[in-house]
């Protein structure tokens, strides 16, 4: 699974949203403090577009969108999709 971390400037958002996102960046610590939200990459298409999926109060629930991610605004990481389940009796 690939996860996309947004590091763009939110220049097209309303001023109130940009202020809130600036506060998020200001309070976050560490190497990825510039990240304001993440998207799961659900599918990659031959034309270079991707289907991204996320959930938030702002989006009023789960949303899916087909788009082209600008590499200047996104950090994309590959995560292992192998899940490990431990039954309670094995602890």
Span 42-61, pLDDT tens digits: 999 999 999 999 887 766 78
- Phi/psi of residue 10, nearest 5 degrees: 60, 35
Those residues whose C-beta lies under 8 Å from the C-beta of residue 8, and which sit 6 or more positions away, are 70, 72, 73, 74
Q: How many domains does the chain have?
A: 1
Q: Is the pLDDT of residue 41 over 70?
A: yes
Where on the phi/psi map is residue 76: left (φ > 0), alpha (ψ -120 to 50), or beta? Answer: beta
Domain residues for the domain of 33 are: 2-90
Q: What are phi and psi of 26, to 5 degrees?
A: -65, -35
- Checking if the pLDDT of 21 tops 80, the result is no
Contact 63, 70 (CB under 8 A): no
Q: Which residue has the higher pLDDT, 87 or 68?
A: 68
Model confidence, pTM: 0.68
- Over residues 3-24, the mean pLDDT reads 75
Alpha-helical (H) ranges within 1-91 are: 15-27
Is residue 24 pLDDT above 70, yes or no? yes
Distance separating alpha carbons of residues 58 and 50, to the nearest angstrom = 21
Identify which has the larger pLDDT, 68 or 73: 68
């Amino acid at each position: 699974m690939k996860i996309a971390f947004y590091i763009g400037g939110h220049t097209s958002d309303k001023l109130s949203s940009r202020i809130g996102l600036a506060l998020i960046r200001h309070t976050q610590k560490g190497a990825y403090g510039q990240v304001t939200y993440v998207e799961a990459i659900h599918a990659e298409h031959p034309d270079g577009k991707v289907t991204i999926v996320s959930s938030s109060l702002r989006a009023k629930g789960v949303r899916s969108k087909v788009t082209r991610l600008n590499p200047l605004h996104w950090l994309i990481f590959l995560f292992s999709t192998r899940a490990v389940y431990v039954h309670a009796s094995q602890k």
